[in-house]
Structure 1
Amino acid sequence: MTARVVMIVFTGCFIEVECMAQALQYQNPELTARERAADLCSRLTLEEKASLMLDDSPAIPRLGIKRWQWWSEALHGVANMGGVTNFPEPIGMAASWNDALVFRVFDAISTEARAKWNELLSQGNDVTRFHALSVWTPNINIFRDPRWGRGQETYGEDPYLTGVMGSAVVRGLQGPEDAKYRKLWACAKHYAVHSGPEWSRHTADIDNISARDLWETYLPAFKTVVEDAKVREVMCAYQRYDNEPCCSNTRLLQDILRNEWGFKYLVVSDCGAVTDIHANHKVASDAVHSAARATLAGTDVECGFDYAYKSIPEAVHRGLIKESEVDKHVIRLLEGRFDLGEMDDPSLVYWSDIPTSVLESREHRRLALEMARQTITLLQNRNGILPLKKSEKIAVIGPNADNKPMMWGNYNGTPTTTITILDGIRRENRKTVYHQGCDLTDSRIVTPLFSECSFDGRKGFKGTFWNNTRREGKPVATEYYTQPFTKTTAGNYQFAPGVNLTDFSAQYETVFRPAKSGEVVINVESVSRFDVVVNGEVKVKHATWRTTPTRTPILVEAGKEYKIEIHFAHMPTYGANIKVNIGTESEIDYTDIINRLKDIDKVVFVGGIAPSLEGEEMPVEIDGFKGGDRTHIELPAVQRNFLKALHEAGKRVIFVCCSGSAIALQPETKNCEAIIQAWYPGMEGGTAVADVLYGKVCPSGKLPVTFYASSDQLGDFEDYSMEGRTYRYIRDFEPLFPFGYGLSYTTFDIGNAKLSSTTIGREGIKMEIPVTNTGNRNGAEVVQVYVRNPQDPQGPVMQLRGYKRLNVKTGETATANFLLTPKSFEWFDEQTNTICTKPGTYDVLYGNSSKGNALKKVTVTIN
């Protein structure tokens, strides 16, 4: 009810009656967010309530509710935006084993997200997708199998490390817990039991895992970020768990998440997951029943395209759910909007003062560099070949040496400038010789002929763009390209200046005047629809990645002209990207390239894979890769053969491996003197890699995942049982490089631990481990503490329960201090079917990796 105060004012012969509206409860910033949300919910119609349960929520002007978006991304920077700081991919950040630095990174990311939001409001623009204060980060699924393409988004294979890192992410994004308004709302995803494959996620039923795997592997990180970091959103996953889709799974969303862990905030569906309930999982008959199932189970907001939640009013009218049930969800989501200050005047919200000058600021770029340096993991350094000397001439070869999009990772924003690995090395050594050498996966190589192309009197290709998919009307933009080019919607806020991210088209055209006769290949790679037209003849029509090869060979004669057009249109299923090259094609001749390096002894080969090959549900099907995942984990053959040829030619090879997942590098340990795992290192990654190569920085990264010797050590990708997977359950073989492993340019001695007691009481025991730098360089070491339960041979071989990263100067000793509490000894209990602290004698193992025979041991008892 609206209260009004009536004032009667006598002015001469007239009586003026003035009605002053008193502020409604939901408009009162002095009330709690929940009180305001409950009041506002009571004023909404059922149809309005249902509309607010969509991730793209329309405005309700009569109540002052603005359009709102729940879907933004901030995986390692503000995603789908330009001019933002790009940090290393999360799997790389996990290799830093530095959660304090991770917190600083995500504090900076949330600052940039608020700056983008403030800029949007100041310009009076409407809220658009990916431009909001709710960010769907972190991904804390367990990276159980290196073939999963989205594992790069996670913090590795260990539940403890993932929980610690995930909590640092959440705290950095959401801001101080005692602040009146949250800085952002973070989202833990994908709940639960999800880590590939991508190709079957909309239909898969994860029913082959034990209760032990559920409680010890797949749930702990979620429990940590819910209970300790107070994450405000949880995203339910696509697949079924025990034959019930995760977004309608009462056991996951109610019994465990809300009732057991006390989560009281927002559950959002993965995008399209509610529709999957009837469309793919076939456990509901239609959208109405899917909406009812998901709502009753506890999913508050649907991310979708063809929204099932638009059917909520019908579900209520048919008696499938009650409106009071709908109110629970609406109150939760409105509470979020009030908690972020979105409903209040910006002058009341502290974060509204953040200026756009923070975007890609010097401070944030320094932070990106600091993090990139700490992610780099030295796996091999035979005969101390590293660090390099600036005085020696070297060659840089490989498909990732000058690959900017690779540096950015996936789910990325686009920085203004990026230092590639080639850039970084050239800054250190002017004697560097560069040859790309080979493609990531293709044994053929195209020598570009853009110098023989021109249009409108300008060299290269011309691109013309329309904000419709039909190339109709007045174009909105033009661009020119003087070398092979790649355009993508991934990580961008526009495809080209003034061009939308969706519903657009383009035409790329040139006149090719060949200097020599012969075969020329037009290479077009795209997930979107395209045509290739030469002199008016359609050579490729309505191609997509599924239907047509990317190469179009044409025979040309010297001196003649060939008008080449590429017609391109956005397709909503996979977004849009296009890669264009024209030139002569030949099989890679390793001998020819090696002959150009006669006077060079050391070769830095920058290879691995790239986000264009591994990622979320991607349209890629080539040897080794399927749908965003990998079908085997060996290095692509073209690179493996190249490294072998370099080695046989007597070159001393330093292999810089870029990837978001473990690669089986057994042959490379023989063909390369040194191996550096650089992950996807972000906008400053080239400087960081060069700093390590030339010894300005002592490498300190530690693997957050196991590096297997070959694909033969992997089990069935679709089997979610943990037996035989990750360091925790590898019993019958030795991996190539174990979890927690990483070399340095100096050496450390980890001394004997000192315990305050050998009996674990309620307050726990203190553990002190001395670490001495016995080498001749300052460096950092990560001391790792694992627990093993000898009374439980079916359980994990060991479980990480603590770590400390220490900076230790040469000749000095530092101490790693740990507090082992009863929680450190939680183990699965068959009697209670959950995890708890069980009495018994435990082994506490400690060292600088999970390699069993290198760990020291003490024994403790819990009564």
Structure 2
Amino acid sequence: MSAIYKDARRPVNERVADLLSRMTPEEKFAQMHAWWLILSSDGNHRERTDLSDEFAGVTEQTGLAERMKLGIGQITRPLGTHIVDAQEGVRAANRLQKTLVEDTRLGIPALFHEECLVGLLCKDATLFPSPLNYGSTWDPELIERAAEAIGKEARSTGCHQGLAPVLDVSRDVRWGRTEETFGEDPWLVGMMATSYVKGLQGKKRDLLATLKHYVGHSFSEGARNHAPVHLGFCELNDTFLLPFEMAVKLANAGSVMPAYHDIDNQPGHSDEFLLTTILREQWGFDGLVVADYGGVSLLHQHHGISHDPAESAALAFNAGLDVELPKDDCARHLAGAVERGLITMAKVDEIVARVLKEKFRLGLFEHPYADENRVALQSDSAKQLAREVATRSITLLENDGTLPLKGTPEVAVIGPTADDPLALLSGYSFPVHLIISDMLEQTSQVITPLAALRERLGSENVRYAKGCHIIEKRMAGAPVFPGDSGGKPMQSSPVSQDLSLIPEAVRTAQQSDVVVLCVGDLAGLFQSGTVGEGSDTDSLTLPGVQQQLLDELVATGKPVVVVMTGGRPYNLGGQEDNVAALLMAWAPGQEGGYAIADVLTGQAEPGGRLVVSVPKSAGAMPYYYNHKLKSGGTPFAFHFGSRYPFGYGKTWTDFSYGPLKLAGKKVENQGGEIIAGVTVTNCGREAASEVVQLYVHDKVASMVRPVQELKAFQRVYLQAGESAELTFNVPTDMLNFTRRDGQRVVEPGEFEIRVGASSGDIRSRDVVNVEGEIHVLQGHWRMVSHCEVKQ
């Protein structure tokens, strides 16, 4: 008679209990970690080792075939680890899965995970724009469709879990991972993340999205990677936990990944309060908690809160971790941890039951293999979505009327990012993440701005000069490993200071009618680029000699249109007032060149709006629009503030706002809704869209509140002269803040409702009085506002 766990007709809990009862301790431990392998279709798999292992204290292991007999919890990035054709990668993954299913005692299949932040991280997958682009669209439905396309590509390769999205709330753009965030407003991040999770997972949750980095990773000391975070629980809950809570409660996220840092001396990977009390007990999360790569090892290697790997494993798993990634550096010592009384087998059984439950629920036992003949990458629909996201995220910050370009002018396309495919990609795209040779060979599908403008305007009308380098030679590996405490000498910056290409660029500009100057960043991990994980900065000056190039081009007197790409905003050294136009395109992905050309030539409007403020200087950092009143200092510091605030963006026309009309000046606290209406009119000559934004200011509260907070937004498309009436419905629950006892509460009192074109451009305001008792929120409180549009 077949074992209960092999019978798909039996309830999942019965199957889990049956299988768990048959497992030896060693087989249970094996389900609590992953392997990181270079897979081969002939079965000769080998363990992946490289220099990056050194930072987490990873050591090479032997006896893979012997350990394989015990089974495994997960396989780390079978297609995203090395350059392999997707079909061959699936064939190799199937070969490993076949061994696990057919040649082990219990036949437990492995769960495969990949990175999915800007598309599936594997060769030939569609290279989507960065999360900053996602956020800049202000269109959650579009991002849900993009994530759905990413999910389809992932499923076609046999991926079961995607390590995305990133829910870190930007606080300091010097942080290298700013490019991975949806922006600086916690509610907007929550809305975008919720949509992304819904799209990636689908209604069946048959592909697990992974919320990261839990939590507060983006508010690190000095905006440095892995650095400590200094936060009390009230601010942690209101700003950084909110997006996670939304994605868990509204989108049923399947997985969560802790962060590397410590908060108030408590590392994220051993924080039972966050991983169990908050996540599972208070929010009802029922998925898997997986370690960030090497995060368990850091408990003893860097944080110094344990003596050895066994103790680190016990700390993490007791706190709420389910699976160690990417390998078993600490989990392989679980037997010793049990013997030493650091963890009980009852706790191990609880964890393994969760792992097995997901494998049964995902259908891995019935369908362990992917069809290598049904791999589907780079579909026309996926590429169209990547282009739509890129186009609708491009944000116009300055324009003296030069844009859109009219007719067929002679254009000088200049700059280090104008014809570099890697400059359009973020750090978690396949070609950038795997800079291990000449990755330009893996970027043939990327359309650069130069290529797109030549196609649009005709090659005879486009001249090109590089102008300068950012990094002359892209290299793999990190100059200094994260967390090094003096073991390695600091290496010099790879950023170029070569000025020799500028004279040719000036001559090229002088021969043309208009200059399109492409500047910005190069993404790269651990200082192999100027932005990205471990590539933090101390300045908001353009990397290298790009400022000198800009200054020389402006001095020619030709109109200079600046197109900035990359993972953080930079200043233009005071040239903001002298350039003809300034476009922020972030990291727009493989279709980015087309998107930029479409906006420059007026084929598309610049529909993006900023989701991170552009600070006046690095001295203003950390800066974000929803700061406290006293954040600016006393007296108000001259360097504090933002030239281009959160929500800002120009378009081809102007919009006027009528007065804000409240349906009622008094609203009941419990169960109430603030209903606010405003009429917006396109008073220009061109059809365009406006992102109407509603902010709230709590006038008097028992605790200090931000100067204002976004609570609703709506994009509206209007023809020239056309008007629309927008009616916003904001639940009173959304006026909450966290009290010192850890409860989310809504206090009665006066709230100023503000409507405008950005956080710095409020057009109309009024005050509503919330009446009743203090409302303590429980469970599934109302997190989402709505807007109706009548045109």
Check whether TM > 0.5: yes
Determine which of 325, 330, 352 is the counterpart of 1:330. 352
Determine the structure 1 residue equivalent to 2:310.
288
Determine which of 2, 19, 24 is the counterpart of 1:40. 19
Determine the structure 2 residue equivalent to 1:755.
662
Cα pair 1:783 1:847 within 8 Å, conserved: yes
Determine the structure 2 residue equivalent to 1:739.
646
Q: Does 1:190 align with 2:194?
A: no
Determine the structure 2 residue equivalent to 1:144.
171
Structure 1: gaps spanning 5 or more residues: 1-20, 118-131, 446-522, 530-543, 552-578, 580-584
Cα pair 1:203 1:280 within 8 Å, conserved: no
Determine the structure 1 residue equivalent to 2:127.
86
Determine which of 273, 288, 312 is the counterpart of 1:266. 288
Give the helix-richer structure, 1 or 2. Answer: 2
Determine which of 393, 406, 410 is the counterpart of 1:375. 393
Determine which of 295, 318, 325 is the counterpart of 1:303. 325
The aligned amino acid for 2:713 is: Y
Q: Does 1:817 align with 2:727?
A: yes
Determine the structure 1 residue equivalent to 2:119.
77
Cα pair 2:402 2:581 within 8 Å, conserved: yes
Deviation at 1:696, TM superposition (A): 0.7
* CA separation of 1:196 and 1:629: change in aligned 2, threshold 3 A: farther
Deviation at 1:721, TM superposition (A): 10
- Give the Cα–Cα distance (whole angstroms) in 2 for the partners of residues 265 and 750 of structure 1: 45
Deviation at 1:193, TM superposition (A): 1.5
Determine the structure 1 residue equivalent to 2:485.
none
Q: Give CA deviations for 1:346-398 in whole Å, capped at 9, x if unaligned.
A: 79xxxx7897474211111111111111110000002x110002321111000
Structure 1, 832-841 or 70-79: larger mean CA deviation: 832-841
- Give the Cα–Cα distance (whole angstroms) in 1 for the partners of residues 518 and 664 of structure 2: 50
Task: Tell me the TM-score normalised to structure 2 length.
Answer: 0.80
Determine which of 379, 390, 396 is the counterpart of 1:361. 379
The aligned amino acid for 2:336 is: E
Determine the structure 2 residue equivalent to 1:564.
none
Structure 1, 331-340 or 161-170: larger mean CA deviation: 331-340
The aligned amino acid for 1:160 is: W
Determine the structure 1 residue equivalent to 2:187.
160
Cα pair 2:231 2:264 within 8 Å, conserved: no
Determine the structure 1 residue equivalent to 2:455.
427
- Give the Cα–Cα distance (whole angstroms) in 2 for the partners of residues 205 and 723 of structure 1: 25
Cα pair 2:467 2:504 within 8 Å, conserved: no
Cα pair 1:545 1:619 within 8 Å, conserved: no
Determine the structure 2 residue equivalent to 1:634.
541
- Give the Cα–Cα distance (whole angstroms) in 2 for the partners of residues 855 and 34 of structure 1: 56
Structure 2: gaps spanning 5 or more residues: 36-70, 73-99, 432-442, 480-487, 773-791
Secondary structure of 1:675's aligned partner:
strand
Q: Give CA deviations for 1:639-697 in whole Å, capped at 9, x if unaligned.
A: 11111111111111000000111212351312311000010101111111111000011
- Determine what percentage of the aligned residue pairs are the same residue: 32
- Give the Cα–Cα distance (whole angstroms) in 1 for the partners of residues 414 and 489 of structure 2: 29
Q: Give CA deviations for 1:142-176 in whole Å, capped at 9, x if unaligned.
A: 11100111111110111000000000111011111
Secondary structure of 2:563's aligned partner:
strand
* CA separation of 1:666 and 1:38: change in aligned 2, threshold 3 A: farther
- Give the Cα–Cα distance (whole angstroms) in 2 for the partners of residues 365 and 806 of structure 1: 25
Determine which of 588, 594, 598 is the counterpart of 2:506. 594
* CA separation of 1:395 and 1:212: change in aligned 2, threshold 3 A: same
Cα pair 1:605 1:655 within 8 Å, conserved: yes
Deviation at 1:628, TM superposition (A): 0.8
* CA separation of 1:774 and 1:199: change in aligned 2, threshold 3 A: closer
- Give the Cα–Cα distance (whole angstroms) in 2 for the partners of residues 596 and 223 of structure 1: 53
Q: Does 1:829 align with 2:739?
A: yes
Cα pair 2:387 2:592 within 8 Å, conserved: yes
- The Cα RMSD (Å) is 3.1
- Give the Cα–Cα distance (whole angstroms) in 1 for the partners of residues 492 and 705 of structure 2: 50
Q: Give CA deviations for 1:207-254 in whole Å, capped at 9, x if unaligned.
A: x32333212111111111111111011101111222221111111112
Deviation at 1:416, TM superposition (A): 5.2
Determine the structure 2 residue equivalent to 1:567.
none
Determine which of 136, 146, 157 is the counterpart of 1:105. 146
Deviation at 1:635, TM superposition (A): 1.6
* CA separation of 1:423 and 1:299: change in aligned 2, threshold 3 A: same
Deviation at 1:858, TM superposition (A): 4.0
Matched positions, count: 682
Mapping 1:430-449, distance limit 5 Å? 430=458, 431-441=460-470
The aligned amino acid for 1:103 is: E
* CA separation of 1:365 and 1:356: change in aligned 2, threshold 3 A: farther
Give the strand-richer structure, 1 or 2. Answer: 1
Deviation at 1:71, TM superposition (A): 3.6
- Give the Cα–Cα distance (whole angstroms) in 1 for the partners of residues 364 and 573 of structure 2: 53
Q: Does 1:807 align with 2:717?
A: yes
Deviation at 1:307, TM superposition (A): 1.4
Secondary structure of 2:239's aligned partner:
helix
Secondary structure of 1:630's aligned partner:
coil
The aligned amino acid for 2:410 is: K
Q: Does 1:65 align with 2:107?
A: yes
Mapping 1:490-509, distance limit 5 Å? none
Determine which of 675, 678, 695 is the counterpart of 1:766. 675
- Give the Cα–Cα distance (whole angstroms) in 1 for the partners of residues 274 and 628 of structure 2: 20
- Give the Cα–Cα distance (whole angstroms) in 1 for the partners of residues 562 and 378 of structure 2: 30
Determine the structure 1 residue equivalent to 2:341.
319
Structure 1, 34-43 or 802-811: larger mean CA deviation: 34-43
The aligned amino acid for 2:694 is: V
Cα pair 1:76 1:90 within 8 Å, conserved: yes
Q: Which of these two proteins has the greater Rg computed from alpha carbons?
A: 1
Cα pair 2:275 2:319 within 8 Å, conserved: yes
* CA separation of 1:365 and 1:200: change in aligned 2, threshold 3 A: closer
The aligned amino acid for 1:432 is: N
- Give the Cα–Cα distance (whole angstroms) in 2 for the partners of residues 815 and 340 of structure 1: 45
* CA separation of 1:291 and 1:847: change in aligned 2, threshold 3 A: same
Secondary structure of 1:269's aligned partner:
coil
Task: Tell me the TM-score normalised to structure 1 length.
Answer: 0.74
Cα pair 2:183 2:189 within 8 Å, conserved: yes
* CA separation of 1:108 and 1:64: change in aligned 2, threshold 3 A: farther
* CA separation of 1:760 and 1:672: change in aligned 2, threshold 3 A: same
- Give the Cα–Cα distance (whole angstroms) in 2 for the partners of residues 600 and 201 of structure 1: 42
Cα pair 1:144 1:722 within 8 Å, conserved: no
Determine the structure 2 residue equivalent to 1:395.
412
